[in-house]
Amino acid sequence: MMVVLDASVAIKWYIKEKNLFEAEKLLNGYYELHAPELILPEFGSIVWKKVRRNELTSEEGSSIIKSFSRQNVTYHSHKPLVTASYIGADLSAQTVYDWSYLALAVSLSVPS
């Protein structure tokens, strides 16, 4: 089953947060994970903030980044998503960033 992965879900693989069990199910091999390339700097920013807040050491942060980069995720360019992302954001109260994930899900015909 195809799934569009968000950074706020992926971080749960490394940090014990609410809904950890549901996030870990995505790693069982049943799911085909996809994400806009935006997930990489978003994930990095989440880890960086946790290091800055002393929730993680710099070494732990680096290890998490390396581990995430090895996950089996298919990354998609923003170029074909940007127009739909902008239109969606313009019509709603969500950001272009959020709509990048939604536009990817629509373009891949991922069921909601």
Is residue 34 in a domain? yes
CATH value at residue 62: 3.40.50.1010
Q: Is residue 72 part of a domain?
A: yes
pLDDT at 77: 96
Q: Domain for residue 11, yes or no?
A: yes
- Whether 112 maps to a domain, the answer reads no
* Sole residue written with tokens 């050491």: 57
Domain boundaries, position 48: 2-107
DSSP character string of 56-96? S-HHHHHHHHHHHHTS-EEEE-STTTHHHHHHHHHHSSS-H
Residue 56 lies in a domain: yes
Domain count, the chain: 1
% of the chain beyond a pLDDT of 90: 84
Q: Evaluate whether residue 74 is within a structural domain.
A: yes
Q: Which long-range contacts link 91-99 to residues 24+ away (Cβ below 8 Å)?
A: 97/38, 97/42
Give the phi and the psi of residue 63 in degrees, each rounded to 5. -65, -40
| Residue 101 maps to a domain | yes
Which residues contact residue 73 at a Cβ distance below 8 angstroms, ignoring those fewer than 6 apart?
5, 33, 34, 35, 39
Please give the pLDDT value at position 76: 98
Give backbone dihedrals phi and psi of 4, rounded to 5 degrees, phi first.
Answer: -95, 120
Q: To which residue do tokens 């994970």 refer?
A: 33
pLDDT digits (tens, 9 = 90+) for 79-98: 999 999 999 999 998 999 99
pTM: 0.88
Residue 94 lies in a domain: yes
